[in-house]
Homo-oligomer: A and B are copies of this chain.
Amino acid sequence: MQQLPREESLRLLGSVPLGRLVFTQNALPAIRPVNHVLDGENIVVRLNDGATLTSIAPPAGEAGLVVAYEADAIDPHTRLGWSVIVTGYARLVADPSQVARYEELLRPWVAQTMNGVLRIQPDLVTGFRLVAQPAVAVCAAGGEGR
């Protein structure tokens, strides 16, 4: 397992369309698969359950809600690939022109009304790459490793 630098991690995250938004809802851990675009270092997602997220994420300017965001590309057979986890403040985008721009960039992938755009400012960025190693290779080949 190789740790990846911040820049490379964000580049990889921006190279895939889907990730998972992780937040706390009613004091419980919650996760939603969403699609995203990278705008500079910021991760931008559209939400279809805006009612929920509007209530937990304050508009830009206010303190924001701490969320995690994860994207990965791991081959289930070779078990090689990468995973990037970002933690940072999320805020609803309020400016109508910015909302319109993000709505153009982020085509919804479910046929539902999208009613919120969330921008996440990465604070902590953790990325790793799973590379082939002897011990893993033995396991992946289906042997017992001993």
Q: Do residues A110 and B85 form an inter-chain contact, with CB atoms below 8 A?
A: no
Instruction: Give this chain's copy count.
Output: 2
Most buried by B among A22, A140, A145: A22
> Using Cβ atoms and an 8 Å threshold, which residues of chain B touch A31?
20, 22, 31, 68, 70, 85
**How many chain A residues have a CB neighbour from B under 8 Å?**
40
Q: When A and B form their complex, which 10 residue pairs have the shortest distance between CB atoms, in order from nearest?
A: A79-B109, A111-B133, A111-B135, A107-B139, A22-B29, A29-B68, A31-B70, A33-B83, A22-B31, A1-B110
* 24 contacts across the A-B interface (CB closer than 8 A): A1-B112, A17-B79, A18-B76, A20-B20, A20-B70, A22-B22, A22-B29, A22-B31, A23-B29, A24-B24, A24-B29, A28-B68, A29-B29, A29-B87, A30-B87, A32-B85, A33-B72, A35-B79, A107-B140, A108-B139, A110-B136, A111-B133, A111-B134, A111-B135
